[in-house]
Copies of this chain bind each other. A is one copy, B any other.
Amino acid sequence: MTLINEHYTEVNDTYLFSEISKRVSAFAAANPDKKIIRLGIGDVTLPLPTSVIKAMQAAVEEMADPATFKGYGPEQGYDFLRDAISADYKSRDIKIESNEIFVSDGAKSDIGNIGDIFSTDNIVLVTDPVYPVYVDTNIMAGRTIRYVGSNAKNSFLPSPPDFHADMIYLCSPNNPTGSVMSREQLKEWVDYALKNEAVILFDAAYEAYISDPELPRSIYEIEGAKKCAIEFCSFSKTAGFTGTRCAYTIVPKILNGRTKPGGHLPLNRLWNRRQTTKFNGVPYLIQKGAAAIYTEEGKREVRDMIGYYMGNAAIITKALSKAGITFYGGVNAPYIWLKCPSGLSSWQFFDKLLNEVNVVGTPGAGFGKNGEGYFRLTAFASRENTVEACDRISGLINI
């Protein structure tokens, strides 16, 4: 009698983006003539940088020749990519060794799988609103989750709570609120983690969108963070890899977890064991593409790409300001988090936007209790569509 993991019965079956997709499909089927513009799911639209394309073309050629063909690679990633990432941290005065870097197929995978190395007895802390993966993966594992409210009162940048937690998920620039932690704010959390002997799971998937040098792009800019934090980074939003799949996770070698008898074990060793046992690395040709991002040409292209999306963000925030709508984010972050006008609920505003002006966004309520009454727009559409969507939204709101 094969028993299932009972905790799977505890997760909500309706995943936010499936529900959005269902409503949009129904609308599109009923209104085939309408042009729907999507500022909802955070997917990119610009093609891959030329340097990445060139590197992948060359790598495909290598796979066609027995002399250069590549079979199994290291589960942790090729040295050429790990070294490039390490050098990039070094250029920002952060010392991360190559063997503290684990290349993977996505931050979502790593954020989901990292739970493997931790006890299910740990208390999890998330801020609400929250990226649903932090919550769902921990419900599936049977962990207790405690919430810290992220709301207008704290400008969606909550401080650590007065209760204890063992595993803390933080995301900055934040998905969904677009808020970005200052060094002082992040230090508060690092201090809290050190005091509680907790681990911070720091989701830095949007770090490349930070242009203000005063804001931390890596948690390791904060003193003591290597003793308490794992950092998740991704090429998805940095270089348009959402459909190309490459990311990396930093597990510092001095970061320990506690064993039941009271000893310490390096989490780097545990994560290495997890990845070598349940993963076989990222395709060689994808890693070659990712490495190209660190060339001079690649860096320039990535800057341009991010500049383009942040130009979209500026267009959105300008339109919202003009319409008198309260919002957060859109600066140093590709997400714009707005307060639904006229006291509408998140899903009411979703339906209104979809039905009346055919623009798709993401209802804040889908991210948690504190998201109710809020709505997320993203800067990842094309310029043309962003401008048109803003015109439509402005027209709707000013009526």
| With A243-B73, A277-B140: A2-B197 Cβ-Cβ less than 8 Å | yes
Q: How many copies does the complex hold?
A: 2
Contact A3 B260 (CB under 8 A): yes
Residues of B within 8 A of A70 (CB): 243
| With A47-B64, A53-B63, A66-B46: A277-B137 Cβ-Cβ less than 8 Å | yes
Beta-carbon contacts of A129-169 to B below 8 Å, as 1s and 0s? 00001001100100000000000000000000000001100
| With A1-B196, A2-B199, A53-B60: A259-B43 Cβ-Cβ less than 8 Å | no
Q: A146 to chain B: closest CB distance in Å?
A: 14
Query: A373 interface residue, CB < 8 Å from B?
Result: no
Query: A33 interface residue, CB < 8 Å from B?
Result: no
Residue of B with least CB distance to A193? B2
Contact A72 B60 (CB under 8 A): no
Contact B243 A72 (CB under 8 A): yes
Query: A210 interface residue, CB < 8 Å from B?
Result: no
Contact B382 A6 (CB under 8 A): no
Residue from A13, A61, A71 having most chain B Cβ neighbours under 10 A: A71
Residue from A13, A48, A260 having most chain B Cβ neighbours under 10 A: A48
Query: A80 interface residue, CB < 8 Å from B?
Result: no
Instruction: Count A interface residues, CB 8 Å.
Output: 83
The residues of A with any CB-CB pair to B shorter than 8 Å are: 1-6, 8-9, 11, 13, 15, 18, 41, 43-48, 50, 53, 56-57, 60-61, 63-66, 69-73, 105-106, 108-109, 112-113, 116-122, 133, 136-137, 140, 166-167, 196-199, 240, 242-245, 257-260, 265, 267, 270, 273-274, 276-286, 382
Contact A6 B278 (CB under 8 A): no
Residues of B within 8 A of A116 (CB): 5, 140
| With A2-B198, A47-B65, A286-B283: A265-B57 Cβ-Cβ less than 8 Å | no
Contact of A60 among B60, B109, B257, B279 (CB under 8 A): B60
Q: A65 to chain B: closest CB distance in Å?
A: 6
